[in-house]
Amino acid sequence: MRFGARLHDAMQARGRLCVGIDPHSSLLLDWGLGDDVAGLETFALTVVEAVAPHVSVVKPQSAFFERFGSRGVAVLERVIADSRAAGALVLLDVKRGDIGSTSQAYADAYLDPASPLASDAITASPFLGFGSIDPMIETARRHDAGVFVLALTSNKEGPEVQHARTADGTVAGTVLGHLATLNADTAPLGDFGAVVGATIGSSDERLDFNGPVLAPGFGAQGGTVADLKRIFGPAARHVLPSSSREVLAAGPNPVALRDAALRGNESVTGLGEA
């Protein structure tokens, strides 16, 4: 089954909240854990056990695992495997972007089922030109995976690139146009999504491109259901709000983590049918 169809079904069955797994040093310490591989493993696997059976998508941030070297990546491999075994889709947040054979190597690392890091979808950066991520797009198609492409992020530095104007509009608009082309005539949902921050304020871009939208910044970072409805309009039915701090702050108690995820899921049911 294609990624878009799997995601559509998962959001209908489990709700639309995506839980980020971001083992910040400060969070490890808040949980009473060491800022080391042992603390990372306890933190990450506790989150997986608590939330992966109950939400549609989990989103591990690769950098927080990579900072511990090969042992941290080994923990990430287990997070991916255990989350998928629990029925959650895994969106690996890597934001990779390169050209040619390097782009293909990233695609093989994260989207080829032969890799221990193989996930249901990844995040990618198109700012070397959308064609630079073609290897990731084609590998995703070959393996029924997905790609979420940075388009309108919430960071304050983003507009200098994303709002820059081309002959045909803005850079962000060009990215969204490519996604609309990739997802054309795909039902019930395209495989190729955009990353659009839940706290961008507003946008005149076309956000209904028949694909999923990852909206980080929901919850503790300030994004609300009202914001999502206002920003995305009719496209809100395809939005996957992402929350990490709001859920992770409930740990280390697994029941509290689970309940925080369920509350978050309940709060976004008003976005409409997936």
Angstrom CA distances, 17 to 52, 98, 134, stand at: 11, 29, 28
pLDDT tens digits, 86-109? 999 999 999 999 999 999 999 999
Fold (CATH) for 3-267? TIM Barrel (3.20.20)
Residue pair 158/172 in contact (Cβ under 8 Å)? The answer is no
Omega into 23 within 30° of 0, i.e. cis? no
Tell me the C-alpha distance between 99 and 43, whole Å: 35
Mean pLDDT over the full length of the chain: 95
pLDDT of amino acid 77: 98
pLDDT of amino acid 72: 98
Q: Any idea how long the chain is?
A: 274
Tell me the C-alpha distance between 214 and 22, whole Å: 16
CA 30 from chain centre, in angstroms, equals 24
pLDDT of amino acid 273: 53
Residue 229 annotated in active site: no
Element (H, E) at 170: strand 169-170
Which residues are CB-neighbours of 174 under 8 A, at least 6 positions away?
Answer: 130, 166, 168
Strand partners, 21: 60
Q: What is the band of 111 on the pLDDT scale with cuts at 50, 70, 90?
A: very high
pLDDT of amino acid 203: 85
| 208: DSSP letter | -
Choosing from 59, 95, 156, 229, the catalytic residue is: 95
pLDDT at 236 over 80: yes
pLDDT tens digits, 167-218? 889 999 999 999 999 999 999 999 999 999 998 888 889 999 999 999 998 8
Nearest CA among 88, 85, 64 for reference residue 76? 64
Element (H, E) at 147: strand 146-152
